[in-house]
Amino acid sequence: MKVGILAGGLGTRLAEETVSKPKPMVEIGGKPILWHIMMHYAYYGLNDFVIALGYKAEVIKKYMVDYCALNSNLTISLENGAIKQHGGEHLNWTVDLIDTGINTNTGGRIKRLAPYLGNETFMLTWGDGVSDINLRELLEFHRSHGKLATLTAVRPPARFGHLELHRDQITEFSEKPQTKEGWINGAFFVLEPGVFDYVDGDDTQWEKAPLERLAKDGQLMAYKHTSFWQCMDTLRDKRRLESLWQSGNAPWKIWEKDNAGISDGSQRVHRDSYGAYAVASKA
């Protein structure tokens, strides 16, 4: 199963970081948030990625081309320029980097990925949000209802301190990560190829007409995720994610929580009866 990631937006609300790089390349813990997202999918054995590029596409291309060299030990022959890589980090990933245009909207970017995603179920997310969502359970839910589209519904993150009041007295103050009420689109989609028919062209915004029409046609389902989710829209969001990472307790860092890490690419993966992926212990 392929995973589409939209990584072509301008990231204007994070202008302090995105002058020289696209938002998915803004770093958390010394690694681009795009890497964090891909590590999450790869933990579940989903390591075939199709990335929609746009703004500063060359930065992501260069990162992917140089990844192995930058994360390995190198032996270089100065006589003939031959380079031998050894040790370091090796990830069993395949990454298609597709330039979908500078000004193409989200729906248009998705449709431009169609030839690379194939005529089969695929996953899709944005290149600026992390979560501890169980992708196996998400896929099982999608398989169970038989509709064209599943989106992950999440609680919106709180932007300010949460107050519990009794008349004029504050009885509780807390910086809660998410509000108690309401649901928003948290991306982490599972989609069937039929969704491409709902996108008219490059100017189409995925979050508008396509999702509205899918909902009207009874083809859009919500997988409710009540645990951690956080997008990186602002500098405040970035600082929060960085703080969580530095604390050693980043909720989305699931690939190391049960010592079944994937840093050496040696994990075994199997499919269950739903076609979902599950990670077995390393050999």
List pLDDT tens digits, range 126-165: 999 999 999 999 999 999 999 999 999 998 887 766 667 7
Kindly report, residue by residue over 155-186, the tens digit of the pLDDT: 888 776 666 777 767 667 666 667 666 899 99
The more confident residue out of 179 and 264 is 179
What separation in angstroms does the CA of 240 have from each of 32, 164, 187, 235, 249? 15, 23, 20, 9, 12
Q: Locate the DSSP E strands across 25-82.
A: 27-28, 31-32, 48-53, 73-76
The predicted model gives 206-228 an average pLDDT of 95
3-class DSSP state for residue 269?
strand
Which tokens in the block code for residue 30? 């010394």
* H or E element at residue 37: helix 33-43
Indicate the residue type of 205.
Answer: Q
What is the Cα–Cα distance from 94 to 145, expressed in whole angstroms? 29
Q: What percent of the chain has pLDDT over 70?
A: 84
Please give the residue range of the domain that contains residue 41: 2-279
Total count of domains within the chain: 1
What's the CATH code of the domain at 230? 3.90.550.10
The predicted model gives 213-227 an average pLDDT of 95
Dump the DSSP string for 88-139.
Answer: S-----EEEEEE--SS--HHHHHHHTHHHH-SS-EEEEETTEEE---HHHHH
Which tokens in the block code for residue 190? 């599972």
Residue 261: its pLDDT value, please?
Answer: 38
Residue 127: its pLDDT value, please?
Answer: 97
| Antiparallel, parallel or unpaired: β 122-126 and 189-191 | antiparallel
> Which range, of 12-26, 114-128, 161-175, 232-246, averages the lowest pLDDT?
161-175
**Residue in 17, 43, 16, 3 with CA at minimum distance from that of residue 191:** 3
Residue 259: its pLDDT value, please?
Answer: 42
Q: Strand pairing partners for 166?
A: 169
What value does the mean pLDDT of the chain take?
Answer: 86
3-class DSSP state for residue 214?
helix
What separation in angstroms does the CA of 16 have from each of 103, 232, 233? 21, 13, 12
Q: Indicate the pLDDT class of residue 114, thresholds 50, 70 and 90.
A: very high
Residue 269: its pLDDT value, please?
Answer: 37
